[in-house]
């Protein structure tokens, strides 16, 4: 006897774990990990999935276990490597096994499934079996039977139903209510050509229409055809088709047809042409191929400036993988998953590409998933979660724009896609390619330590120059009497470019709650003396706080650096910039893109479309406009204030600013006219701004790495953030306090540093007061045990109105 661990479809907190069930003898060969099952739960039957078989050594207690009622899949839906990956997720990210396993399930796995049965290849044999016989087979031949109907016809004998499946007496078809494959009924021949020819001769007198149809079909090589299609093409009625079915010459089968998410929507401009690779691209491809063949398959950092042809290198690397009989997963940031991107992969690999993203209907997603699972598609292209695509024989995993924040999952399981991708690649001996024009410090550090190799594309394709970049000192503007948010230089450049008929992109990067305090006279920003992170202004207490260590200082009326009264907390909205732009350029058409204007579905595409068609002169927006857009007519990019992202109270503020500026500057001058980028700032000498403007990546990375090392920030350490939330502020605070205390007690000496509990940066969210405890640790294995213990204990701390969460691989402190 065996037992299995089952994750059920139930989502309530109390059952957020797996349950053990006994497997009855009759279901033994189907009860495999990854298969869906029906299990008794209380008085009900619920759906579940087998996540593993348990040790048969425990067999003595087996008798007390409830048995599973049925196995729903003939083949396990979830492959073994994904089950293994899910187990790893729950270990590494401290989430429930339920949350981890859900992550790898096919879309709609627990949706309602309708299963029905039709005669199979072994149907003839079944007619002679006791308990089945001609009666049951006759009924099946007339029309498909549901599971209940067939089971009733077999006298309720589940074992016989299963045996019949195994021997091919009948075949099982599924039709999900929402997400099953879409099927059509197709006519297929039962007999061979010669017998059918003879039958047609014989029927000519008695059933001329059927004979005619059969002859026509023979002339088409007995191609399986949908019934309607057959009648239409042959010009013979549907009844004739039914007649042939009744005579047992033809049989109807349900065939799944695919809902093609790309059909009718591909822009079609990608012809799949393969340009000749340039020198750098060839070297990059060779570096990837080398790792495909190397025993240790080290990740490859493909470091290429914007527009340098990285995607072309991915495409070639994919070809190489496919040539070796391997498959590939390509991850792109959700925002970059446009029809154009998809068309490029489709253009090269056609039907072999399966696309997975959040805009697909559940049915489309299911179909694409199953195509990968069955091996009909060899390449999965998708956003973050596509790393869990059921791709077997994986040879290559690409993470485009690997530095993107959207690669971090911010709800449980709170995984870091780079880590998961690496793990997945390791499972299969595949190569992980990390591509970016502005790699994360993590990627750079991997290369420095020799854990990854690096290859770079230094120039834009076609030798186009990178845009010229100027930095404007806003302190000086103020000194010289310009109090507007536009510098004289930016205003002048805009006027000139707009006059020439060029377009402008204006970036107003703002995070709603990033209220740092800055002196407009000298550029001084109030920082925490312990953390070197900007302090956040709290209106309620009229004080400044460090969100990292809890340091607090009263709000100052004058600048502690220069004594001027021009000190204020900062934050200008896109709406104010828009008003100002209308005032300065009354005839210009402006498209504004921020969370307010893009809330509606499709608004994003529509606004960008207007700008792309030249119906607007100025595109104004938040960081959502910074990436991946390619408009040849953009001659100018203006950044209203580089400081907004620079002073976000987060250790990655400089990194994000550098990345944002380099990426946004990459939008200018994509066409024939050289572009210009104007960056306004109160900190013109900041290394992140200077390095971005001067195109000196080395300067930035060396300086930033040194700073991270000195402050013991990632990638030199990892951060865990424990958060409590409760409608009552002091309950949230007390819970955070006790987590802090417990962590200090259980962490092994030297494994990590527990910082003081304090209010979270978003101190109140959806009616809950939030507090947090940050832990810096060196290595997961040192802290895993202790973390798990505190995690278990903390579960009830804020119940029932509040919650406790932990992110053990926090990417930001916000
Ligand atoms: P990236 O991904 O680095 O931004 P892309 O791969 O999108 O760059 O390349 C930019 C443009 O240059 C694309 O239109 C692409 O088709 C084209 N391209 C890439 N490589 C070559 C090449 N070797 N020769 C000619 N055109 C190329
Ligand atoms: Zn000052
Ligand atoms: Zn601090």
| Residue pLDDT, tens place only, 309-326 | 999 999 999 999 999 999
- In this predicted structure, the answer to whether residue 48 has a pLDDT above a threshold of 50 is yes
Q: How many CB atoms sit inside 10 A of residue 614's CB?
A: 12
In terms of average pLDDT, the best of 164-178, 200-214, 530-544 is: 200-214
Mean pLDDT across the chain, nearest whole number?
Answer: 85
Q: List the residue whose alpha carbon is closest to atom 5 of ligand 1.
A: 309
How would residue 492 be classed by pLDDT, with cut points 50, 70 and 90?
very high
How many angstroms does the Cα of residue 632 sit away from the middle of ligand 1?
Answer: 14
Torsion-angle region of residue 731: left (phi > 0), alpha (psi -120 to 50) or beta? Answer: alpha
**Any alpha helices (H) in 378-511, and if so which ranges?**
417-428, 441-448, 474-479, 488-499
435 CB near ligand 1 (under 6 Å): no
What is residue 269's predicted lDDT score, i.e. its pLDDT? 42
**95 assigned to a ligand binding site:** no
Q: Can you state the percent helix, strand and coil of the chain, rounding each to 5? A: 40, 25, 40
Question: What are the tokens at 207?
Answer: 């059933």
Q: Is the CB of 336 under 6 A from ligand 1?
A: no
Pick the atom of ligand 1 nearest to 437's CA. Answer: 3
Q: Is the pLDDT of residue 511 over 70?
A: no
* Ligand with smallest separation from the Cα of 347: 1
- Give residue 525 CA to ligand 2 midpoint distance, Å: 8
Q: Is 798 annotated as a binding residue?
A: no
pLDDT of residue 313: 97
Contacts with 154 (C-beta within 8 Å, 6 or more apart), sequence order: 131, 132, 136, 160, 161
Ligand 1 lined by 461 (C-beta under 6 Å): yes
Q: Which of 281, 301, 309 to mutate to test the pocket of ligand 1 (most atoms within 8 A of CB)?
A: 309
Q: Are strands 517-519 and 225-226 parallel, antiparallel or unpaired?
A: unpaired
Residue 532, judged by CB atoms within 10 A of its CB (0-12, 13-18, 19+), counts as middle
- Ligand 1 touching residue 147 (CB < 6 A): no
Could you tell me if 413 and 99 are in contact, meaning their C-beta atoms sit under 8 angstroms apart? yes
* Residue 99 or residue 704, greater confidence: 704
- CB proximity list for 768: less than 8 A, separation 6 or greater: 725, 726, 727, 732, 802, 803
For residue 149, the SS3 value is helix
Please state whether the peptide bond connecting residue 765 to the residue before it is cis, i.e. omega within 30 degrees of 0: no
- pLDDT level of residue 693 (50, 70, 90 thresholds): very high
Q: Is 562 annotated as a binding residue?
A: yes
User: In a 10 Å sphere around its CB, with 0-12 CB exposed, 13-18 middle and 19+ buried, how is residue 639 labelled?
Assistant: buried
Rounded-to-integer distance, Cα 455 and Cα 639, Å:
30
Task: Note the pLDDT tens digit of each residue in 230-266.
Answer: 887 888 888 888 888 888 888 877 666 655 554 433 3
Write the pLDDT tens digit of every residue in 327-354.
999 999 877 777 778 888 998 999 899 9
Ion ligand 3: residues, CB within 5 A, are 528, 530-531, 546, 548-549, 551
Burial 451-487 (b: 16+ CB within 10 A, else e): ebbbbbbebbbeeeebbebebbbbbebbeeeeeebbb
For ligand 1, atom 18, name the residue with the nearest CA.
309
**Predicted confidence (pLDDT) at residue 178 exceeds the cutoff of 80:** no
Kindly list the distances between the CA atom of residue 185 and the CA atoms of 120, 171, 290, 482, 696, in Å, as whole numbers in the listed order: 15, 14, 48, 74, 63
- Ligand 1 within 6 A of CB of 308: yes
Of all residues in the chain, the percent with pLDDT exceeding 70 is 90
**Ligand 1 atom closest to 277 (CA):** 23
Q: Which one, of 411, 451, 434, 440, lies nearest residue 93 by Cα?
A: 411
671 or 740: which leads in pLDDT: 740
| pLDDT on residue 263 | 44
Identify the nearest ligand to the CA of 663 by its number: 1
Provide the Cα torsion 399, 405, 407, 409; round to 10°. 170
Distance (Å, whole) CA 620 – CA 638: 9
pLDDT computed for residue 309 by the predictor: 92
Residue 746 pLDDT grade (very low, low, confident, very high; cuts 50, 70, 90): very high
Q: Is the CB of 103 under 6 A from ligand 1?
A: no
């Amino acid at each position: 006897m065996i037992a299995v661990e089952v994750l059920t479809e139930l989502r309530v907190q109390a059952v957020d774990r797996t349950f053990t069930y006994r497997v009855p003898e009759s279901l033994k060969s189907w009860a495999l990990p990854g298969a869906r099952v029906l299990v008794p739960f209380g008085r009900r039957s619920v759906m579940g999935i087998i996540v593993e078989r348990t040790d048969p050594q425990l067999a003595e207690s087996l008798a007390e276990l409830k048995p599973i009622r049925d196995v729903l899949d003939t083949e396990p839906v979830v492959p073994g490597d994904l089950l293994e990956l899910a187990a790893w997720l729950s270990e590494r990210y401290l989430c429930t096994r339920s949350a981890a396993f859900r992550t790898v399930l096919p879309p709609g796995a627990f949706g309602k499934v309708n299963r029905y049965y039709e005669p199979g290849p072994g149907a003839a044999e079944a007619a002679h079996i006791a308990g089945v016989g001609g009666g049951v087979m006759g009924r099946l031949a007339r029309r498909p039977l549901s599971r209940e109907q067939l089971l009733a016809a077999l006298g309720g004998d589940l074992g016989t139903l299963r045996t019949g499946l195994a021997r091919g007496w009948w075949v099982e078809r599924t039709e999900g209510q929402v997400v099953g494959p879409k099927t059509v009924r197709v006519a297929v021949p039962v007999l061979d050509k010669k017998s059918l020819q003879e039958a047609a001769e014989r029927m000519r007198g008695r059933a001329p229409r059927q004979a005619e149809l059969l002859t026509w079909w023979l002339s088409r090589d007995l191609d399986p055809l949908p019934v309607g299609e057959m009648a239409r093409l042959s010009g013979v009625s549907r009844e004739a088709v039914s007649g042939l079915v009744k005579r047992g010459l033809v049989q109807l089968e349900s065939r799944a047809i695919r809902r093609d998410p790309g059909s009718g929507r591909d822009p079609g401009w990608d012809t799949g042409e393969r340009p000749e690779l340039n020198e750098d691209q060839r070297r990059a491809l060779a570096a990837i191929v080398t790792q495909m063949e190397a025993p240790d398959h080290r990740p490859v950092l493909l470091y290429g400036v914007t527009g340098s042809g990285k995607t072309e290198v991915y495409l070639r690397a994919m070809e190489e993988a496919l040539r070796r009989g391997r498959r590939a997963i390509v991850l792109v940031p959700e925002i970059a998953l446009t029809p154009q991107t998809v068309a490029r992969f489709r253009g090269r690999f056609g039907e072999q590409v399966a696309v997975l993203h959040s805009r697909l209907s559940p049915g489309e997603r299911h179909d694409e998933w199953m195509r990968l699972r069955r091996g009909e598609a060899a390449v999965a292209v998708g956003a973050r979660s596509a790393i869990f695509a059921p791709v077997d024989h994986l040879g290559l995993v690409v993470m485009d724009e690997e530095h993107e924040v959207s690669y971090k999952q911010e709800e449980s399981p709170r995984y870091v896609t780079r880590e998961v991708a690496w793990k997945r690649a390791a499972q299969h001996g595949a190569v992980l390619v990390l591509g970016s024009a502005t790699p994360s410090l993590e990627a750079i550090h991997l290369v420095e330590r020799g854990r990854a190799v690096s290859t770079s594309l230094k120039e834009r394709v076609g030798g186009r120059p990178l845009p010229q970049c100027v930095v404007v000192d806003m302190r000086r503007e103020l000194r010289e009497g310009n109090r507007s948010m536009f510098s004289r230089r930016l205003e002048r450049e805009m006027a000139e470019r707009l006059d020439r008929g060029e377009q402008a992109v204006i970036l107003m990067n703002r995070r709603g709650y990033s209220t740092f305090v800055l002196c407009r006279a000298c550029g001084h920003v109030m920082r925490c003396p312990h953390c070197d992170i900007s302090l956040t202004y709290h209106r309620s207490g009229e004080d400044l706080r460090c969100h990292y260590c809890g340091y607090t200082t009263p709000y100052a009326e004058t600048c502690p650096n220069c004594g001027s009264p021009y000190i204020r907390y900062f934050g200008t909205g896109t709406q104010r910039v828009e008003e100002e732009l209308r005032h300065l350029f009354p005839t210009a058409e402006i498209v504004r893109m921020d969370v307010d204007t893009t809330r509606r579905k499709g608004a994003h595409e529509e606004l960008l479309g207007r700008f792309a068609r030249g119906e607007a002169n100025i595109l104004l927006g938040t960081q959502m406009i910074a990436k991946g857009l390619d408009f040849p007519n953009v001659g100018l990019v203006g950044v209203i204030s580089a400081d907004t992202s620079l002073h976000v109270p987060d250790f990655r503020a400089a990194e994000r600013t550098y990345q944002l500026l380099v990426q946004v500057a990459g939008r200018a001058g994509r066409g024939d006219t050289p572009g210009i980028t104007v960056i306004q700032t109160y900190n013109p000498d900041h290394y992140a701004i200077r390095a971005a403007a001067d195109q000196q990546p080395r300067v930035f990375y060396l300086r930033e790495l040194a700073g991270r090392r000195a402050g013991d920030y990632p990638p030199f350490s990892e951060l865990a953030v424990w958060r409590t939330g409760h409608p009552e502020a002091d309950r949230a605070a007390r819970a955070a306090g006790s987590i802090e205390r417990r962590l200090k007690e259980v962490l092994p000496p030297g494994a990590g540093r527990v910082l003081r509990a304090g209010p979270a940066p978003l101190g109140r969210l959806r009616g809950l007061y939030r507090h947090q405890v940050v832990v810096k640790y060196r290595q997961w294995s040192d802290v895993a045990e202790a973390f798990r213990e505190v995690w278990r204990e903390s579960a009830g701390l804020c119940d029932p109105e509040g919650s406790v969460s932990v992110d053990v691989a926090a990417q930001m402190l916000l």
